[in-house]
């Protein structure tokens, strides 16, 4: 089995997986049938979805299960992967939340120091 994660400094270089959201029937009458979106599954489990069609937009899902639970239309939609970058399994929602928790780093302060903090003592 391939090793998925490579870390350089604070950046995780886990490979991503590309695919298409393919819809056999359009239950809602909005997106149509066939390829309706482009999908990128990141190594931490997050998913970017680029919707195609008349009103294109991009969504970020916390994981595949979450997004397909909403947009899967009870099995009328599937993801067709374009490349076999990974082993047979994809990260689950649980894996994604654990990964996000593990890799989250403290955010720098958004409050700039005031001028008194910048002055050196006399």
122 residues of the chain, pLDDT tens digit each: 344 455 555 555 667 899 999 999 888 888 889 999 999 999 888 999 999 988 899 999 999 999 999 888 888 899 999 876 555 555 556 554 444 433 333 444 444 444 444 444 55
CA angle 49, 55, 58 (to 5 degrees): 20
Domain boundaries, the chain: 16-99
76's tokens: 């009328």
State the CB neighbour count (10 A cutoff) for residue 42: 17
pTM metric for this prediction: 0.61
B/e letters for 73-99, b = 16+ CB within 10 Å, e = fewer, are: eeeebebeeeeeebeeebbebeebeeb
């Amino acid at each position: 089995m391939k090793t998925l994660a490579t870390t350089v400094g604070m950046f995780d270089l886990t490979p991503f997986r590309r695919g298409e959201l393919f819809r056999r029937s359009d239950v809602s009458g909005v997106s149509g049938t066939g390829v309706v979106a482009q999908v990128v599954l990141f190594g931490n489990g997050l998913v970017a979805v680029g919707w195609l069609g008349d009103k294109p937009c991009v969504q970020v899902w916390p994981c595949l299960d979450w997004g397909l639970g909403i947009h899967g239309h009870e099995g009328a939609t599937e993801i067709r992967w374009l490349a076999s970058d990974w082993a047979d399994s994809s990260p689950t929602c649980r894996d994604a939340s654990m990964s996000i928790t593990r890799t989250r780093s403290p955010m720098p302060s958004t409050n700039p120091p005031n001028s008194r903090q910048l002055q050196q003592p006399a």
